[in-house]
């Protein structure tokens, strides 16, 4: 990564696993944050979360996260401050960011708090602008195309894969696009 663009910016790459697709109705079962600074992964955080509801069987099969795994896990309200602290002053990065941001916003709202107001980078949109001619822009497809290990529908694996994808996209010319969209001056 160029020293003149995005120098010292901390990117918090986030992935959530959930009980379904609706942020209003469904709940988070796992969250991971992988922090990237100056082209390196500098910190990781992950935890299972007790969704306080049943996990549908098809979701358990897809993610491998079972009801018994989350039974003794903290509730989102118990880890909200950790997520808040990790996101403060960083740029949130996610693959299909609207999904992850939507669930985080809903969970923060259930805690009577607001998700920190931070800039967001969506690696799907970034990949569409950087990698042309792909069959689709799913994380697994992009990882396979670029020779990266995909995450297998677990939060830390997917967040790490997204962080690696993000770093590849930065090296493929996306750094200037991100810096411009974040309003960062070239130093």
Q: What is the mean pLDDT of residues 106-113?
A: 98
pLDDT band, very low/low/confident/very high, at 2 (cuts 50, 70, 90) = very low
Q: Is the pLDDT of residue 66 over 90?
A: yes
DSSP for 56-68? PHHHHHHH---HH
State how far the alpha carbon of 35 is from the alpha carbons of 114, 132, 156, 177, in Å.
21, 27, 11, 20
pLDDT in tens, 121-147: 999 999 998 999 999 999 999 999 999
Q: What is the mean pLDDT of residues 59-64?
A: 96
pLDDT of 4: 52
Q: Catalytic: 132?
A: no
pLDDT in tens, 33-51: 999 999 999 999 999 999 9
| Average pLDDT score over the chain | 92
Helix axes 155-169, 139-146, angle to 10 degrees: 50
Superfamily of 10-178 according to CATH: Ribonuclease H-like superfamily/Ribonuclease H (3.30.420.10)
pTM, whole model, 2 decimals? 0.92
pLDDT of 177: 77
Among 43, 95, 145, 153, the active-site one is 153
């Amino acid at each position: 990564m160029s020293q003149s663009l995005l120098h010292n910016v901390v990117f918090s790459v986030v992935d959530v696993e959930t009980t379904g697709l609706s942020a209003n109705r469904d709940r988070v079962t796992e969250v991971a944050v992988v922090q990237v600074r100056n082209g390196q992964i500098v910190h990781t955080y992950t935890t299972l979360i007790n969704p306080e509801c049943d996990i549908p069987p098809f979701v358990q099969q897809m993610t491998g996260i079972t009801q018994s795994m989350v039974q003794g896990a903290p509730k989102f309200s118990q880890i909200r401050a950790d997520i808040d602290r990790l996101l403060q002053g960083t740029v949130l990065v996610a693959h299909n960011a609207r999904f992850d941001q939507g669930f985080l916003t809903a969970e923060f709202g259930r805690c009577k708090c607001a998700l920190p107001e931070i800039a967001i980078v969506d690696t799907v949109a970034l990949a569409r602008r950087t990698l042309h001619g792909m069959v689709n822009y799913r994380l697994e497809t992009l990882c396979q195309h670029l020779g990266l290990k995909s995450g297998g529908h677990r939060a830390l694996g997917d967040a790490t894969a997204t962080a690696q994808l993000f770093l590849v996209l930065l090296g493929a010319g996306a750094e200037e696009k991100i810096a411009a969209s974040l309003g960062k001056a070239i130093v």
